[in-house]
Structure 1
């Protein structure tokens, strides 16, 4: 009986490690696809402006130099969709929610996986919109500062 429990325990550990590996490689694939898309968008204008025999060394240099620049506020920030005044109240429910919950709802509604710069930009948009909507009386806001909870205005 002890051997069966030991084998089951070993299999559970192996299964846990396999699931972690799958999660790691899934994230890795998504990251690599994002990088590849960024490289394709960076490389596209540079190859069209050059002639047919413009030298591969120059193209290689731009490919290796650009990814570092694209991780800053470059091409990836443009993927953030617009969020107007009407977007934020639609995320609120009748039960009060924290700003973190509203932010998670926004990510789900936009169906994006933002990089840190885009996350910061979206968070600033949300804070500004929620503050303005609360001041105008279009949504309910209770509490103060970090404990503030937002909800839809009762009709």
Structure 2
């Protein structure tokens, strides 16, 4: 009988771990889908022929998103300042920096105190910008994955 109880305990522990893993991967899938949507919107061509219906749809979608975020308990909706293509290279120095250091410099340059959602958005903007700038050869990137360091391109 003791063996049955110990086996049940092992299975309960395994179930607990499996549920944690499912929650982790569900969150990971959502994050990756968000990043993919961001990348798709960056690569999407801008068309000059946007009809009134398209403008109304995008405006109502933005309004609904803003309302949903502001109604979520504990979050506040803020508008991040613009961080265009020229913003990110201006933060880099001749000394190679990690992306965390670049993010700190961005927050200081923008003079903001980001909430967790804004920090996430800013991190995604930074990752996309640094990736594109390094692929285009506008900045220097060395190392791989999380150990990647960024610096100004020297002439």
TM-score normalised over the length of structure 1: 0.53
Q: 5+ residue gaps in structure 1? A: 1-65
Taking the aligned partners of 1:91 and 1:104, their CA distance within structure 2 comes to 10
Q: Is the 8 A contact 2:139 2:153 kept in 1?
A: yes
Q: Is the 8 A contact 2:70 2:77 kept in 1?
A: no
The aligned residue for residue 103 of structure 2 is: 103
Q: CA deviation at 1:76?
A: 2.0
Taking the aligned partners of 1:130 and 1:136, their CA distance within structure 2 comes to 10
The aligned residue for residue 91 of structure 2 is: 91
Q: Is the 8 A contact 1:77 1:117 kept in 2?
A: no
Bigger Cα Rg: 1
The aligned residue for residue 113 of structure 1 is: 113
Q: CA deviation at 1:68?
A: 4.7
Map 1:3-152 → 2, pairs under 5 A? 68-69=71-72, 71-72=74-75, 76-78=77-79, 80-152=80-152
TM-score normalised over the length of structure 2: 0.53
Q: For the aligned residues, what is the CA RMSD?
A: 1.9
